Structure 1
Amino acid sequence: MPMDFQRIEKRGCHRSGGGISLSLPPYNNNMEEVLEALLESSESHLLAESLERLMEKRVTDVEKNYFLEKSLDLGQRLQEAANRLTRQRATDHNSLTWPLTHDLTVKVFSLLGTQTLCYAAATCTLFNKSAMDPVCYADIDLTSSDFKIISNMTVSKMVQRAGLFFRSLKLGISGQQGKSSTSSFKLLGSTVDIHLKSADALDRSWHYRNYKQDRSSFMLTRSCLETLSSENGMVGSMLKTLHLFNITEIDTKALCGAISSCPSLSDLELVDLHVQLKSVLSCLSSHCHFLERLCCQSSKTGRVEGLRSYTCTQFLTGCPKISSLSLKGFKLSDQKLDALLKGFCNLKFVDFSTASNLTGTFLRSLAHTGNELQLQTLILRDCMHLKEGEVDTFLFALCSGECKYLQYLDISNKDGLAVADWFERQTSPSVEGIARLRSERPQFHLVAEFPAEKSCSDIDSMLSSFDDSDESEAVGLGTPSSISMSEFSSESTYSSDTSSDSEENG
């Protein structure tokens, strides 16, 4: 029951100079009365004045510092006790009003993202109990715009919570917040999209998004994946999906050590990691024979890396189930690409954006053998040496019924297609080839974005005719929303030399 200050004064409280001084009762069973008196008082400045007077009674600095520390400690303990009571009250309330059983609650929580799940776990004891179920941590997504909140310990704890249900792990700074950049492909409709943009607009659209986090504050280190090798590799043996974004602290040795403990891995995505592609492919070939999807985007710094023939052969033999392959920003020759396309029987999605050495001669072989392949999507976006003649020939081959499974082709280039010499640029493929492709294969989706100042009058007239058609209105931009293109800066894309070195020819 509430008490007035007269009763408190009789028990050891007295007023002095407009303030309230409290003499703590000698027994703990009177603590409730003291707390109730404090809570009844709505004048917070009186408590501050009382604290000031009590501190003034301390003579030395040591006594004053000790008094302040005890006051802060008392406030913290009082807040912790109040937080506990708040959670307990929320638990009691949710226990009466929450309509779902424990099993259904766990099922709902298992569908939440990892960070949302942590927020739910901190709500009350009832939710915390459900959120701690291992099923909820089967797919761990720790991608964040604030890398400082993620540490090696966080990763380890999450994996331990998952236990035998551990299936997926995503770490780092992702522009798509953990969404796969080459996830399920969705055909939007019948169209040929040709967009002529200004050079500035294209530069902005193709530039790599540089997340300017303070690298010194990153808490993930090269050992953040060591938990996959724990318990004699039992933890990693259950992992099927691994996505790593912009964790520059991870080196080739640390990554390959983690991958070697994941024989069931089927989906691997590496974005801006300072690792050697040939070492990663060799490790995958030796340990991950069930791999179905590989997306590897080179870091924008450092020398552009190429592939050796032996590495390609080893990769084809060791990972025969590949159906989606994205190698962005690497030095890839037409010969290597042709071998990869023909070697993977289940290959449906290919993205070789910003391949520095790719000229397009592999398209001739693809046109003759394409009906034997399952390839549905081919992305050659911003390949500097891609030649206009090779593209035009391939478009006419498509009109003739070659590559019958191919549904999507992206040949966009912010500098245009190369002509005889790659210094000379052409801003569009053949107008005739595009027109025939639109007529012969109306379900085909062609994306061609080029700088507007290099456009010709024929393309302008064709654009006007497309704008008048009903089909062109059914589709917006040339890039489907279900495909997230990774963008690179022109500095990193075109920094490599044009000649093939010994490694490329090996």
Structure 2
Amino acid sequence: MLPTENPNSSPLFDSLEFNESHLDSIISSLVTFPDSPSLSISSSFDRVLDHLLSSGDVSVQDQLVDRTLEHFSLLLQSTKRCSQKRATLHNSISWFLHSELTVKVFSMVDTKSLMQASACCTMFNNCAMDPLCYSHIDLTKAFKHVDDRVLRTLLNRSGKQLRNVLLEPILELLARNCCLIEHLFLDNCSQGVITYPTIEFFVTNCLKITSLTLLNFRLNDAMAQILVTGFRILKYINLSNTAGITGSFLRDLGHRPNDSPLETLILRDCFSLQEREVVDFLNSLIAGNVRSIRYIDVSSNNGLACDGDGRTSIPNFPSEKLKEERSDITFVADFPSIGPSTRIICSSSLMEDYMSMW
């Protein structure tokens, strides 16, 4: 029989009259009710709901609909949870590795593969949440899908286990997602190749950069020139440990009008940096160009490249003239490992200020 009571007063809707066992019994009867061709559960649901919604005012009917949707939504969610528990139990029994070994395996794959594995089942997801899995975050296969939210999540999961992060091409990633960045420090430990389109895209999109440090990047002079001239408000640049730079990009910088805001230029341990390029740049400073520059460092444990394949630790710098004409510049050239060192400091107080600043 179909119920004739008002749905708002029916005992089915008065939760206060039910104890836990009674409620469990009703739900058990519902979920274990057999289905057969002669009795369609779906048709029964339709008949009962149509009857209940045919009486009462609109507000009561709305409450009935909302309550029914909520209850069966809870039933659906509970069914999914139980199904996941069963699958997890099955996987834990059939999976041949202990959880510790599974975590060890997961720690050896790239991060994209780790995320795919964690979505397979609850057991894999639990293993993939171990911080050890994120000691080496490798997003080189998924950088186009990485934003600051994803990266922040991965870093939080890594905890104190993080050892390195691979985000190649890192400059393109930053240009796409961090265009408002002002200060950037990167050490390209993976030694990835940087292309001209990547450099140009980076300069075009990150217009607010004032401080830039790129260590161990595979840059050449043309790329360095794009960086130095492309960022209109760049005050600090450090391209140390860049083996491909000879210093020819300094020619353009040294002969630019005095509208450059660059104050600090650091080219430490640039193996191919040539003595004559540095000398020409210093002469342009003596002539009054690049009035904004305050600090220059061309120190190297390997000295500077000179004519032919030679190297020198005692370059022929116009140091005295630089002191006379540009006493506001701190120039550091320290070459300790291959012979007597040359160290020229026009203003020690300025050097201390800049070293503490950056």
TM range (shorter): 0.5 to 0.7
Closer/same/farther in 2, CA of residues 317 and 475 from structure 1, 3 Å limit = closer
**Residue in structure 2 matching 1:427, options 313, 318, 336:** 313
Whether contact under 8 Å (2:279, 2:316) holds in the other structure is: yes
Give the fraction of aligned pairs with identical amino acids, expressed as a percent: 31
Alpha-carbon distance between aligned partners in 1 of 2:229 and 2:267, rounded to the nearest angstrom: 17
Mapped pair 1:451 → 2:336: yes
Alpha-carbon distance between aligned partners in 1 of 2:111 and 2:277, rounded to the nearest angstrom: 46
Q: Shift of the alpha carbon at 1:296?
A: 1.2
Report SS of the residue matched to 1:369.
Answer: coil
Q: Shift of the alpha carbon at 1:391?
A: 0.5
Whether contact under 8 Å (1:448, 1:478) holds in the other structure is: no
Report SS of the residue matched to 1:341.
Answer: helix
Alignment of 1:56-205 (within 5 A): none
Whether contact under 8 Å (2:301, 2:337) holds in the other structure is: no
Alpha-carbon distance between aligned partners in 1 of 2:201 and 2:178, rounded to the nearest angstrom: 12
Whether contact under 8 Å (1:251, 1:275) holds in the other structure is: yes
Scaled by the length of structure 2, the TM-score of the pair is 0.54
Mapped pair 1:358 → 2:250: no
Report SS of the residue matched to 1:290.
Answer: coil
Q: Shift of the alpha carbon at 1:346?
A: 1.0
Closer/same/farther in 2, CA of residues 482 and 323 from structure 1, 3 Å limit = closer
Whether contact under 8 Å (2:302, 2:337) holds in the other structure is: no
Alpha-carbon distance between aligned partners in 2 of 1:283 and 1:408, rounded to the nearest angstrom: 30
Mapped pair 1:292 → 2:207: no
**Which amino acid letter does the alignment assign opposite residue 140 of structure 2?**
T
Alignment of 1:199-214 (within 5 A): none
Closer/same/farther in 2, CA of residues 340 and 370 from structure 1, 3 Å limit = farther
Report SS of the residue matched to 2:332.
Answer: strand
Scaled by the length of structure 1, the TM-score of the pair is 0.39
Could you tell me which residue of structure 2 aligns to residue 27 of structure 1? Answer: none
Could you tell me which residue of structure 2 aligns to residue 9 of structure 1? Answer: none
Mapped pair 1:413 → 2:303: no
Q: Shift of the alpha carbon at 1:259?
A: 2.8
Alpha-carbon distance between aligned partners in 2 of 1:394 and 1:476, rounded to the nearest angstrom: 19
Whether contact under 8 Å (1:370, 1:404) holds in the other structure is: no
Q: Shift of the alpha carbon at 1:376?
A: 0.8
Could you tell me which residue of structure 2 aligns to residue 157 of structure 1? Answer: none
Closer/same/farther in 2, CA of residues 478 and 290 from structure 1, 3 Å limit = closer
Whether contact under 8 Å (1:292, 1:324) holds in the other structure is: yes
Could you tell me which residue of structure 2 aligns to residue 259 of structure 1? Answer: 147
Could you tell me which residue of structure 1 aligns to residue 287 of structure 2? Answer: 400
Mapped pair 1:480 → 2:346: no
Closer/same/farther in 2, CA of residues 331 and 416 from structure 1, 3 Å limit = same
Could you tell me which residue of structure 1 aligns to residue 261 of structure 2? Answer: 374
Alpha-carbon distance between aligned partners in 1 of 2:350 and 2:291, rounded to the nearest angstrom: 22
**Residue in structure 2 matching 1:438, options 323, 343, 352:** 323
CA RMSD in angstroms, aligned pairs only: 3.8
Q: Shift of the alpha carbon at 1:455?
A: 2.8
Could you tell me which residue of structure 1 aligns to residue 170 of structure 2? Answer: 280
Closer/same/farther in 2, CA of residues 481 and 311 from structure 1, 3 Å limit = same
Alpha-carbon distance between aligned partners in 1 of 2:135 and 2:173, rounded to the nearest angstrom: 19
Closer/same/farther in 2, CA of residues 324 and 272 from structure 1, 3 Å limit = farther
Report SS of the residue matched to 1:249.
Answer: strand
Q: Shift of the alpha carbon at 1:324?
A: 1.3
Whether contact under 8 Å (1:272, 1:297) holds in the other structure is: no
**Which amino acid letter does the alignment assign opposite residue 304 of structure 2?**
L
Alpha-carbon distance between aligned partners in 1 of 2:171 and 2:298, rounded to the nearest angstrom: 26
Closer/same/farther in 2, CA of residues 420 and 313 from structure 1, 3 Å limit = same
Return the index of the structure with the highest Cα Rg: 2
**Which amino acid letter does the alignment assign opposite residue 325 of structure 2?**
E
Could you tell me which residue of structure 1 aligns to residue 75 of structure 2? Answer: none
Closer/same/farther in 2, CA of residues 366 and 222 from structure 1, 3 Å limit = same
Q: Shift of the alpha carbon at 1:313?
A: 1.7
Q: Shift of the alpha carbon at 1:254?
A: 6.0
Q: Shift of the alpha carbon at 1:413?
A: 0.4
Q: Shift of the alpha carbon at 1:411?
A: 0.1
Q: Shift of the alpha carbon at 1:349?
A: 0.9
Could you tell me which residue of structure 2 aligns to residue 124 of structure 1? Answer: none
Q: Shift of the alpha carbon at 1:255?
A: 6.1
Q: Shift of the alpha carbon at 1:441?
A: 1.3
Report SS of the residue matched to 2:166.
Answer: coil
Q: Shift of the alpha carbon at 1:373?
A: 1.4
Report SS of the residue matched to 1:450.
Answer: coil
Whether contact under 8 Å (2:295, 2:351) holds in the other structure is: no
Report SS of the residue matched to 1:480.
Answer: helix
Q: Shift of the alpha carbon at 1:393?
A: 0.8
Closer/same/farther in 2, CA of residues 325 and 256 from structure 1, 3 Å limit = farther
Report SS of the residue matched to 1:378.
Answer: strand
Q: Shift of the alpha carbon at 1:371?
A: 1.8
Alpha-carbon distance between aligned partners in 2 of 1:479 and 1:294, rounded to the nearest angstrom: 17
Report SS of the residue matched to 1:316.
Answer: helix
Closer/same/farther in 2, CA of residues 325 and 408 from structure 1, 3 Å limit = same
Could you tell me which residue of structure 1 aligns to residue 209 of structure 2? Answer: 322
Could you tell me which residue of structure 2 aligns to residue 342 of structure 1? Answer: 229
Whether contact under 8 Å (1:447, 1:478) holds in the other structure is: no
Could you tell me which residue of structure 1 aligns to residue 51 of structure 2? Answer: none
**Residue in structure 1 matching 2:136, options 234, 237, 248:** 248
Alpha-carbon distance between aligned partners in 1 of 2:261 and 2:310, rounded to the nearest angstrom: 34
Closer/same/farther in 2, CA of residues 272 and 298 from structure 1, 3 Å limit = farther
Whether contact under 8 Å (1:387, 1:418) holds in the other structure is: yes
Whether contact under 8 Å (1:284, 1:318) holds in the other structure is: no
Whether contact under 8 Å (2:136, 2:163) holds in the other structure is: no
